Amino acid sequence: ASLMGMALFLSCNAQQLAPTFYSPTCPSVTNIIRQVLVNASATDPRIGASLIRLHFHDCFVNGCDASVLLDNSATILSEKQALPNNNSLRGFEVIDLMKSRVEASCPGVVSCADILTIASEESVALAGGPSWAVPLGRLDSLTANRSLANSALPPPFFTVPQLKAAFAAVGLNTTVDLVALSGAHTFGRAQCGGFVDRLYNFSGSGNPDPTLNATYLQTLRQLCPRNGNASVLANLDRATPNAFDSRYFSNLQTREGLLQSDQELFSTAGEDTVAIVNRFSANQTAFFQSFVASMIRMGNIAPPPGSRGEIRRNCRVVNGASTLITTTATDGSESDLGYETTPLASSI
Ligand code: HEM
Ligand SMILES: [Ca+2]
Ligand SMILES: [Ca+2]
C-alpha cells in the first residue's frame, strides 16, 4: 500500500497558482466557503480574523500547505501545539465545516490550503475590506513542522529589525509587506499575556512601554491587571475592532497600538516602516491595494523544493494515515480496538 501511495502523491513545488484553477472542477467553491463564513460570523464576529491568522501561520511554516491544520498523530508532531499557536489559534472547526461542504459538492478536488486562502479573502471582504481574485491550486502537506513553527512565527515583542528578518526568511518584502500585512490587526483579538509586559515591566525596566499612550495604558491596565488572567481578550484595533479599515494605522500614530510589534512600526525612529504607516493611515485605498498584493505574495510562499503534496480528505489528517478506532461501550467507557489504514486517494 505504501508503494501505491507514493505513486499517488503529487509533486508540490513549482506550483502554478491561478484564480481559475477550480473553474472546471469546483466552480462554486468560493460561494460554499462564503456561506459557511457568513453563518459562523453571525454567532462569532471574530471568526474571520481567526481564519486569516490561520492562513498566515500556515504560510510562514513551509509555505501555504495546510500544515497548520494537521492534528497530532503517531507520525505528526502538530504545529497547533507550537508556542505561538497553542491556546491561541482558533477556527479549526469552521475550516472542517467548509471542507465537508466543499467535499459534498466536489469530492477530492479542493485542497485545505486553498480553503484557508479563500476563507482569508472572504473574511477580509466580509469585514469591509477589499476583495480579490485568489490564486489557487495549492496542495496539502504530508507533514507538519512544530520546531519551525516555533522559530518562524514572529512573537509580539519583536522589534522592527526582528520582524523584518522573519519576513525576509520567507521571501517577503520587509517594508511594504510587513506593514501592509500587519494591517490585518485591524480586526481580531489578542490575549493580555501577549502585551502585559508593556503595561508594567517593559523589557525588564519596571516601567511601562514609553511608546504607549498614557490614557490607553490606563484602559489596558484595567483589562489586564498585574498577575491577572493572561487569556483575557483585548481588541487589536480599539477604534473599529471588527471592521477591516485603516484605523489600525491611525491608532499607531496616536500611540494606541496594542502589541509592541504593532507600535514599533511607527515608533522606531529611522525605520522605513514609519512612512508606510503614515501613508496607509492617510489613504485607505493605498492600504487596501498594498494589502491585496501582499496577501497574494504571502499566499504564494511555496513548500520547500521536492515536497510532496496531496488533496487531503480531512484537513486534520494526512490521507492514508493510520486511524485509531475507538468504540464507546454502553457504560460510556472507551476502548481502543486497534489501527485501521484508511483507503488511499485515487483522484489522479
Ligand atoms: C508582523 C508580525 C506579527 C506578529 C508579531 C503577530 C502577533 C499576533 C499576536 C500575538 C496575536 C494575538 C494572539 C493571541 O493573543 O492569542 C495576533 C492576532 C492576530 N493576527 Fe497577528 N501577528 C503578526 C502578523 C500578522 C499577519 C501577517 C496577519 C495576517 C495577514 C495577522 C493576523 C492576525 C489576526 C487577524 C489576529 C486576530 C486573530 C483572532 O482574533 O483570532 N497577524 N497576532
Ligand atoms: Ca505550512
Ligand atoms: Ca478596524
Q: Summarize pLDDT for 126-154 with one digit per residue, the tens.
A: 999 999 999 999 999 999 999 999 999 99
Q: What is the rounded average pLDDT of the residues 315-332? A: 64
Ligand 1 within 6 A of CB of 183 = no
Report d(CA 246, CA 285) in Å as an integer: 9
The CATH architecture one would assign to domain 3-151+301-347 is Orthogonal Bundle (1.10)
Residues contributing to the annotated binding site for heme b: 185
Q: How confident is the model at residue 321 (pLDDT cuts 50, 70, 90)?
A: confident
**Ligand 1 pocket test: which of 185, 249, 265, 290 has the largest number of ligand atoms within 8 Å of its C-beta?**
185
Residue 210 CA, ligand 2 centroid: distance in Å: 36
The Cα–Cα gap between 117 and 54 comes to 9
> Which residue reads 500611540 in cell numbers?
255
d(CA 314, CA 252): 40
Task: Take residue 246 and report the three cell numbers written for it.
Answer: 485603516
Compute the chain's Rg from CA coordinates: 21
pLDDT higher than threshold 50 for residue 300: yes
Predicted-complex ipTM score: 0.99
What tens digit of pLDDT does each residue of 37-85 get? Answer: 999 999 999 999 999 999 999 999 999 999 999 999 999 999 999 999 9
- Nearest CA among 34, 13, 213 for reference residue 115: 34
131: which DSSP letter? -
Ligand 1 centroid–CA 190 distance in Å is 8
Average pLDDT for 246-264: 98
pLDDT above 60 for 343: no
Window from 22-26, 273-277, 329-333 with minimum mean pLDDT = 329-333
Assess whether the C-beta atom of 235 lies below 6 angstroms from ligand 1: no
* CA triple 258-91-259, angle to 5 deg: 10
Amino acid at 309: G
Is residue 162 within 6 Å of ligand 1 at its C-beta? Answer: no
Task: Give alpha helix (H) positions in the chain.
Answer: 2-8, 29-43, 47-59, 92-105, 112-126, 146-152, 160-169, 176-182, 196-200, 214-223, 247-253, 260-267, 273-282, 284-299
Q: Which residues are registered as beta bridge partners of 308?
A: 11
- Under DSSP, the state recorded for 206 is S
Nearest atom in ligand 1 to 195's CA: 10
**Contact present, 95 and 315 (Cβ < 8 Å):** yes
For the chain, percent of residues with pLDDT exceeding 90: 87
Q: Among 37, 46, 51, 53, name the best residue to mutate to test ligand 1's pocket (greatest count of ligand atoms within 8 A of Cβ).
A: 53
% of residues, the chain, pLDDT over 70:
88
Residue limits of CATH 1.10.420.10 in the chain: 154-297
pTM value is 0.91
Q: Catalogue the active-site residues.
A: 57
297 lines ligand 1 (CB under 6 A): no
Mean pLDDT of all residues in 155-164: 98
Name the architecture of domain 154-297: Orthogonal Bundle (1.10)
190 lines ligand 1 (CB under 6 A): yes
Torsions phi, psi for 277 (to 5 deg): -60, -45
For residue 42, the model assigns a pLDDT of 98
pLDDT value for 340: 33
Q: How far is the CA of 202 from the centre of ligand 3 (A)?
A: 26
Is ligand 1 within 6 A of the CB of residue 301? no
Residue ranges matching CATH 1.10.520.10 in the chain: 3-151+301-347
| 102 pLDDT more than 50 | yes
Q: Cell triple for residue 263?
A: 507600535
Angstrom distance (rounded) from CA 137 to CA 18: 7
The pLDDT, as a whole number, for residue 339 is 33
CA distances from 312 to 100, 121, 180, 345 (A): 11, 21, 31, 9
Which distant-in-sequence residues (6+ apart) come within 8 Å of 121 by Cβ? 131, 132, 134, 295
Residue nearest to atom 35 of ligand 1 (CA): 49
Q: Which residues are annotated as a binding site for Ca(2+)?
A: 58, 61, 63, 65, 67, 79, 186, 237, 240, 245
pLDDT of 323 reads 53
Per-residue burial over 4-23, b = 16 or more CB atoms within 10 Å of its CB, e = otherwise: eeeeebeebeebebeeebbe
- Whether residue 326 contacts residue 334, with contact meaning beta carbons closer than 8 Å, is answered with yes
